[in-house]
Amino acid sequence: MKRLLLLFVMVIITLVACSNDDNEDQDEQAERVTPVEVDEVTEGNLTAERHFYGRTMPNQTTPVIPSVAGEIDELEVTNGDKVEEDDTIATIASPQGKINVKASVDGTIAGLEAKEGSMVSNQDPLLTILDVEDLTVQLQIPAHQTKLFKKGKEVDLFIEDEEDKEKATVDYIAETANDAGLFVVQLSFENDNNYKAGAVASAVKKETIVKDTLIIPTQSLVEESDEAYVYVVEDETVKKVEVDVEKIQSSQTAIKADDLNEGDQIVTSGQLTLEDGGKINVIEED
């Protein structure tokens, strides 16, 4: 009998201790304040930047072919030299006498391999004159993205360094695909900064992914199993709000939600330890 009584007392003590621990855990949960960072819900179009790459090319390439075959007696230019129309490029000694070779257009000398004393023919180019006052860029684009370009409209174009931005004009959009199944889009711009032909160029266009939607910072989104939700700030607490995800981008996500409106403050950092109705302390950004 005494043994049963002792056992009964021990059970009572254990239950009381557990009850006290549960109460303490509840009190602790009720008093817990989570530091969080917040941002606003916005409304509009979800867009993404698309980058299309190509290389700069001379606006015009003019081969210079001597009118006679012979030996180069004098050579007046080297690769990279700028010439104007009718400038003398070289003098060729031939059976007909010494013949001057002149520039047919303004531009920059390229492709010159011959030297004084070299033999040249009247069939092959001695050199090429490049018009690099204007440069062109050919992009190769999938069919569904050609709609981002309009003939005669300007496009932001970055040359080599992302800080070097030019305004290029769309000159041509192919109506048929090339052998790779892509469509050629040709741009041109004035080469005021003296870029080299062959430099890598990137055309940047914004594409609308979802129209007229609610947009939240992607980092605010919490996903568990088949559920997605955010925490909306209500004074010093938060409310858990379920959302339907339309499209996720790296920094922004398009969503639908009946209980969410433009301008609502939502938690973007600290939400993983929150619960519906949890207390928060909003940390202001520096």
Domain coordinates of the chain in residue numbers?
A: 30-46+211-282, 49-56+132-209, 66-124
pLDDT per residue over 59-115, tens digit each?
A: 899 999 999 999 999 999 999 999 999 999 999 999 999 999 999 999 999 999 999
Pairing of strands 127-141, 42-64: antiparallel
Choices 3.40.640.10, 3.30.360.10, 2.40.30.170, 2.60.40.10: CATH for 49-56+132-209: 2.40.30.170
30-46+211-282 CATH? 2.40.420.20
Three-class SS of residue 73? strand
pTM value is: 0.67
Alpha-carbon 222 to chain mean position: 26
CATH, domain range 66-124: 2.40.50.100
Statement: residue 284 has pLDDT above 70: yes
Same fold for the pair 49-56+132-209 and 66-124: no
| Whether the predicted pLDDT of 41 surpasses 90 | yes
CA dist 243 and 260 (Å) reads 8
